[in-house]
Structure 1
Amino acid sequence: MSQYLRRIRLAAQIFSLCLFVFLFLQAVYPYHPFFPVQTMLQWSPLVALLTLLSSHHVVAAMWPAALILFLTLFLGRFFCGWVCPLGTIIDGFDYLIRPKKKLLSSSSRFRWWKFAILTFVVITAIAGSQLAWVFDPLVIVNRVLTVAIFPIFVFFTEAILGLLWNVQFLNKTLFGIHRFLQSFLLPLHQPYFRQGGTILVLFLLILLLSGLGRRFWCRNFCPLGALLGIFSKYRILQRVVSEQCDSCNVCYFNCRMNAIKADCLSFNKVECINSFECAAVCPKGAVTYRFGWSPKSSPIDLSRRRFLTAGAVGLLGVGLLGLDFPDRNKRGSLIRPPGALSEDQFLDRCIRCQECVRICATTGAFLQPAWLEAGWEGIWSPVGDARYGYCEYTCNLCAQVCPTGAIHLLTLAEKQQTKIGTAYFDKSRCIPWYSGDDCMVCEEHCPTPEKAIVFREGEFVTAHGKVKKVKYPYVIEERCIGCGICVNRCPVEGKPGIFLTRDGEQRY
């Protein structure tokens, strides 16, 4: 029976990870998902709690997170052991590197860190800075898939197919394979994202922590695990050890969460993730799991001093995050997605999952993860960058896939009239203004019904003193919606002859 339960748990883990990847791949244009692609991101109680505390707004779409918490009261941390995609990836990595089991069970002195981190992020959220995007495991996986793993996969897949294309008799077969892959997996163009290397390195560091012990991140750093552990204190799914137990310590050394105490009889309800590993490896078959009430609760590894210290650091962190650059003009080029809430509300709700960035890459490829142009508090939040793409006029998908409502859902007609910025010509670089040659690329690509770029004929004096007629481009600011296609398509090498600012932006 115990082996059967372990296999069911493993199947559930694989299914959950496959579902997560499947939903990730559904975030493409045209958008016709089997399920809303943000579904699993809305399962995180940590995201739900911190967005509630920071924005003072209940996100109704996060109701699955409340269900997870409710089930945790009875089943314990089943989410960590059966559902969490990061936990599944870490388990797979642990299987590959096989950290020493004695190293796992020999130390529990770092477990209080995750409770301190939970205290820290809750205090910062109450004070107005939401940090779920830093620590939430579902967000971490979705982000690294978007900006690093998937682009790398596309690059190598295209490279391999391109290499095999040189084998002439394979051309027809490869063409069919490529067309098939493009129908559901490969994009039309190679995606490029800022910060991809940084995000990938941080993700790999989480995996490499397994060298210090199995599920090291989950046991010591994950605040979602800490939150679920608090709700598991009085769980009714109990680990029961019969009199056949001879204290061989096999279960003790095989527990990936170090939840079994040295006597092999008692266990820590706060740490147990229901992997059923202890029952499966017990040579005597002495370990089973049953439903039943026990008045005993497991202590939380967080002293009052550590709690107060974490809270104080959280308040200090809010102040540090609020510090901005002295050059306020850097904010002038900060373009948010159409429908974005006011900046404070946007940052309080945005979890930097990159779901909007992912789906935008399949249309105009306008959105990118921010670095410091949005301040410390805005790191990895979505910003428009016309060097990479433009905001597609006939698309409103970024709001449709946002899991927390940081981007207000607009109808397509509303979105097409929503101003996210204004373009201006750089007369020192624009071809007609600088060299006196006609150029109409920006006007040709302008998508608004009444063109936001118009021409006025004027005279241009060349370096040789000749006077000639030139059509000078101008931006009609009232018509410009800030989509950035003029910047993206500008033929000027290097810095474009037109630039985008947030002037006149509309927020919701």
Structure 2
Amino acid sequence: MLKKTRIILSLAFLVLFTLIFIGIDGFPERISRGAAYFQLVPVIISVFGAFSAAALAGFLFLIVMTLVFGRIYCSTLCPLGTFQDFFINLKKKKKKKEKFFRYAKDHKLLRNMFTVAVFGMFVFGAGFLLIIFDPFSIFGRFVSGVIKPGIEPLVRGVESAAAGFDIYDTPHIRMHPVSVFAFLFALISAAAIGITAFYKGRLFCNTLCPAGGILALISRFSFLRIRINRDACNACGKCEVVCKASCISIKEKKVDFERCIACFNCIDSCPENGIAYSPGIMLKNSAEKAEKGEKRRGIIRAAAAGIAFLLPGRRLLAEFSEGPVPRKPTLPVMPPGAGSLEKFNNLCTACHLCASACPQNVIGVTLFGYGLSGILQPKLDFSKSYCLYDCTVCTEVCPAGALLPLNTQEKRRSQIGIVHLEKKNCISYVDGEPCTVCTEHCPVKAVYSVNYKGVLAPEIKPEICIGCGACEYVCPAVPYKAIYVDGNAVHKRAGNPDGTRRRGEWYEEEKFNRPGRGRNRGSNGDVFPF
């Protein structure tokens, strides 16, 4: 019964998070954000990096759940854990006992040292290890960067077929820009974890997973735990070969509960009811007490080693983070709600949930655009689309607090970037041909039209620009855009477009010789021309 319940819950959460990262139009953002609060690493970052009451509630829930039930998070709530179980089940299809699992020595030193290093570097402002190894982010990158592009042709085919029958309300998947590197990185990461799971079970969860490292320490004090009844056990070994965590030693008749992920396979496989999930304090003999003392010393050694690892790490990271930020050709534009580059880099785990949720598909991924500490973090890609004037979806779904929620009025005045005009690339200035497509699409008229030698041409008012990228997206100039947006390292509040004087602005009335009408009108900020 316990195993069946675990399977049902794990599949339910797997489907839920898959749908969230695929990005189906109309999928409630509240569900996306709420479900993410059940993921350990994002809520830790949200609580200690950008505090929110909802994240604190999720964090306390996960801690209490582990203290009571053990690491059931790893077997039910973690989508990457269920992803690994798929490969483990493929192994079971061989039906050869020798191909299953055996008890393996615990890599406690590696796990504790790596956990200290990952979160220690995060505290010191270097979160790239957390980005790479956070299980929720790994799963998110795989679904949004590999699965979603793979099923897009199928979905488009279904939509076309349905349209032939006058059915137009089929689910629509939002596609966002995916670079070749992001695709390969997501694919290789998932494949490596899947292959490891096939041969070694949940080895990743008990060595390199930062969530697993924290939960292993907490589960040592769990109220309920799996234990072997030495009197009832006949040492048949059936529990050991189905243990995905390789934490059951049938020779010593013990379970290493720090590594146990509470999958309950062992209980289901035991023919003698010699293994149970029960409360109580396990009595230890002198040898076990000695082993416990050695474990404590191991934790201390791991912490010391982790701190020692951090010292040169901080010097190494300083060479990247304190130097010039790589620009191609400008600083990437962070999504709304990021606040500042420093905060965004520190809190974002690159799960790409914001990219999946974006209705405009403008949020893409940059490799080293933010430097080493911001590897694979999202940016706005104005070559693909633009940011809607009133849209706040990405700020509502971020589970780690890297993007803080904005209301519509705040979003309209949030300056995430600054417009730049390169007149040497502009059709109006170079070719003498009127082109005002950028001015027609700016929601705040930070780009407006002027009369240049009898030709309509664009001019800019950077102080009221919000950095939405609509002008850059529609600019027809090739091979280089005549107008582009440079990201702000610190998001600012844009000037009020209403009543702002725009020097030399051309008005429709001028061709009727009525130059005084309509001057200094500005944008009312309520109508977006798209």
TM-score category of the 2 structures, normalised to the smaller one? 0.7 to 0.9
Please report how far the alpha carbon of residue 79 of structure 1 lies from its aligned counterpart in structure 2 after TM superposition: 1.0
Q: How far off its partner does 1:304 sit?
A: 4.4
Residue 462 of structure 2 aligns to a residue in which SS?
coil
Structure 1 residues 302 and 222: CA distance shift in structure 2, 3 A: farther
Secondary structure of 1:422 counterpart = strand
Letter in 2 for 1:154: E
Within-5 A mapping of 1:424-439: 424-439=420-435
Structure 2 partner of 1:466: none
- The answer for the alignment partner of 2:457 in structure 1 is 472
Aligned equivalents of 1:317, 1:39: Cα separation in 2 = 35
Aligned to 2:44: 49
Q: Secondary structure at the match of 1:499?
A: strand
Secondary structure in 1 matching 2:386: coil
Taking only aligned residues, the RMSD between alpha carbons, in angstroms, comes to 2.8
Is the contact made by 1:51 and 1:349 (CA closer than 8 Å) also made in structure 2?
Answer: yes
Matches within 5 A, 1:346-385: 346-360=344-358, 362-363=359-360, 365-385=361-381
CA distance in 2: counterparts of 1:246 and 1:12, whole angstroms: 32
**1:246 corresponds to:** 234
Among 387, 394, 397, which residue is 2:390 paired with? Answer: 394
Structure 1 position 270 matched with structure 2 position 263: no
- What is the alpha-carbon distance in structure 2 between the residues aligned to residue 229 and residue 301 of structure 1? 16
Spell out, residue by residue over 1:159-199, the C-alpha distance to the aligned partner (whole angstroms, 9 max, x if none): 5776xx6xxxx9734x63xx3433xx434xx5432323322
Q: Structure 1 residues 412 and 49 mapped into 2: Cα distance closer, same or farther (>3 Å)?
A: closer
TM-score, with normalisation over the residues of structure 1? Answer: 0.85
Residue equivalent to 1:5: 2
CA distance in 1, matches of 2:40, 2:87: 25
Task: Write the deviation string for residues 64-119 of structure 1: whole angstroms up to 9, x where unpaired.
Answer: 12211112112111111222111111001111244876673253254543222211
**What is the aligned partner in structure 2 of residue 492 from structure 1?**
477
Q: 1:129-148: CA deviations, max 9, x gaps?
A: 33433222122212322232
Question: 2-side partners of 1:505 and 1:279: how far apart?
Answer: 54
Contact 2:438 2:470 in 1 (8 A): yes
Q: Distance in 2 between matches of 1:458 and 1:507?
A: 31
Cα gap change, 1:411/1:8 in structure 2, threshold over 3 Å: closer, same or farther?
closer
Matches of residues 50-129 of structure 1 in structure 2 within 5 Å?
A: 50=45, 55=49, 58-62=51-55, 63-98=57-92, 104-105=101-102, 107-108=104-105, 110=107, 112-129=109-126
For the residues of structure 2 that align with 1:180 and 1:263, how far apart are their CA atoms? Answer: 60
Task: Give the structure 2 partner of residue 447 of structure 1.
Answer: 443
CA deviation profile, 1:434-469 (whole Å, cap 9, x unmatched):
211111111111111xx222232233xxxxxxxxx3
Mapped partners of 1:300, 1:16: distance in 2: 35
Q: Which residue of 2 aligns with 1:20?
A: 17
Q: Could you say what secondary structure the match of 1:322 adopts?
A: helix
What's the TM-score once normalised by structure 2's chain length? 0.81
Partner of 1:214: 201
Q: Secondary structure at the match of 2:272?
A: coil
Q: Is the 8 A contact 1:51 1:348 kept in 2?
A: no
Deviations 1:389-428 (A, max 9, x none): 1111121112111223222322212211221112222222
Change (3 A) 1:421 1:257: same
Name the structure 2 match of 1:408: 404
Check whether the contact 2:102–2:241 (CA below 8 A) recurs between aligned residues.
Answer: yes
Shift of 1:311: 2.4
Work out the CA distance in 1 between the residues paired with 2:132 and 2:98: 29
Per-residue CA distance 1:257-301 (angstroms, 9 max, x = gap):
111123252111111122221122123232222222336586479
Q: Give the 3 Å change call, closer, same or farther, for CA 321–160 of structure 1 in structure 2.
A: farther
Tell me the SS of whatever aligns to 2:464.
Answer: coil
Q: Distance in 2 between matches of 1:404 and 1:305?
A: 30
Matched ranges for 1:193-232 at <5 A: 193-194=178-179, 195-232=182-219
CA distance in 2, matches of 1:51, 1:301: 31
Q: By how many angstroms is 1:388 displaced?
A: 1.5
Give 3-state SS (helix, strand or coil) of 1:419's partner: strand
Which amino acid in the other structure matches residue 238 of structure 2?
V
1:181 equivalent in structure 2? 170
Residue of structure 1 equivalent to 2:304: 308
Question: C-alpha displacement at 1:312, in angstroms?
Answer: 2.0
Unaligned runs of 5+ residues in structure 1 are: 460-468
Q: Structure 1 stretch 62-71 or stretch 98-107: which is displaced more?
A: 98-107
2:141 to 140, 143, 154: 143
Amino acid at match of 2:13: S
**Is the CA contact 1:419–1:504 (under 8 Å) kept in the aligned structure 2?**
no
Q: Distance in 1 between matches of 2:256 and 2:296?
A: 9
Deviation at 1:302, TM superposition (A): 4.1
Residues 111 and 301, structure 1, Cα contact 8 Å, conserved in 2: no
Q: Distance in 2 between matches of 1:378 and 1:254?
A: 39
Deviates more, 1:98-107 or 1:480-489: 98-107
Specify the alignment match of 1:258 in structure 2: 246
Q: In 1, are the aligned partners of 2:325 and 2:371 still within 8 Å (CA)?
A: no
Aligned mates of 2:151, 2:16 — CA distance in 1: 18
Instruction: Sort the Cα spacing of 1:240 and 1:503 in 2 relative to 1 into closer, same or farther, 3 A.
Output: closer
Q: Specify which of 467, 471, 479 is matched with residue 482 of structure 1.
A: 467
Contact 2:392 2:407 in 1 (8 A): yes
Q: 1:262 and 1:211, CA in 2 relative to 1: closer, same or farther beyond 3 A? A: same
1:36 paired to 2:31: yes
Q: Does 1:280 align with 2:268?
A: yes
CA contact (8 A) 1:341 1:407 kept: yes
Deviation of 1:507 after TM superposition, in Å, equals 4.5
1:134 alignment partner in structure 2: 132
CA distance in 1: counterparts of 2:247 and 2:489, whole angstroms: 56
Shift, 1:382, TM fit: 2.1
Q: SS of the counterpart of 1:457?
A: strand
SS at match of 2:416: coil
Q: Offset of 1:242 from its aligned partner?
A: 5.1
- Per-residue Cα deviation, 1:194-239 (whole angstroms, up to 9, x for no partner): 3233222212211121243112212332121121111111222232
- Aligned to 1:456, the other structure's residue is in SS state strand
- After alignment, is 290-299 or 230-239 more displaced? 290-299
Distance in 1 (alpha carbons) for counterparts of 2:196 and 2:489:
47
Distance 2:198 2:11 in 1: 23
**1:192 aligned partner:** 177
One-letter identity of the residue aligned with 1:144: F
Match of 2:337 in 1: 339
User: 1-side partners of 2:145 and 2:61: how far apart?
Assistant: 30
